Amino acid sequence: MARGTNGKSQRQKKLTKYLANNPLLKDEDLAGVLGVSIQTIRLDRSELNIPELRERMKTALQGDSPVKSLGSDELFGELLDIEVGCYGISMLNITPEMAFRKNLVARGHHLFAQANSLAIAIIDAEIALTGSARVQFKQPVKAGDKVVARADITGYNDNRYKVEVKSTVLDQTVLESAFTVFVLHKEDN
Contact between 54 and a second copy (CB under 8 A)? no
Contact between 102 and a second copy (CB under 8 A)? yes
Q: Is 23 helix (H, G, I), strand (E, B) or coil?
A: coil
Task: Using CB under 8 A, pick the residue from 8, 14, 42, 107 that binds a second copy.
Answer: 107
Contact between 84 and a second copy (CB under 8 A)? no
Task: Using CB under 8 A, pick the residue from 103, 158, 187, 188 that binds a second copy.
Answer: 103
Task: Using CB under 8 A, pick the residue from 53, 81, 137, 152 that binds a second copy.
Answer: 137
Q: Nearest approach, Cβ of 14 to a second copy (angstroms)?
A: 27
Q: Nearest approach, Cβ of 86 to a second copy (angstroms)?
A: 22
Task: Using CB under 8 A, pick the residue from 13, 58, 109, 160 that binds a second copy.
Answer: 109
DSSP single-letter state for residue 4:
H
Q: Work out whether the CA dihedral 56, 58, 59, 60 comes out positive or negative.
A: positive
Cβ atoms of residues 72 and 121 within 8 Å: no
158-173 CB burial, b ≥16 within 10 A, e <16: eeebebbbbbbbeeee
Question: In 10 A of CB 103, how many CB atoms?
Answer: 9
Q: Nearest approach, Cβ of 42 to a second copy (angstroms)?
A: 35
Contact between 66 and a second copy (CB under 8 A)? no
**Measuring CA to CA, which residue among 33, 6, 162, 152 is closest to residue 84?**
152
CA distance linking residue 106 with residue 167, whole number of Å: 13
Q: Work out whether the CA dihedral 31, 36, 40, 44 comes out positive or negative.
A: negative
The residue (of 54 and 101) whose beta carbon lies closer to a second copy is 101
Give the residues lining the site for a second copy (CB under 8 A).
70-71, 74, 76, 100-103, 105, 107-109, 112-113, 116-117, 126-127, 129-137, 140
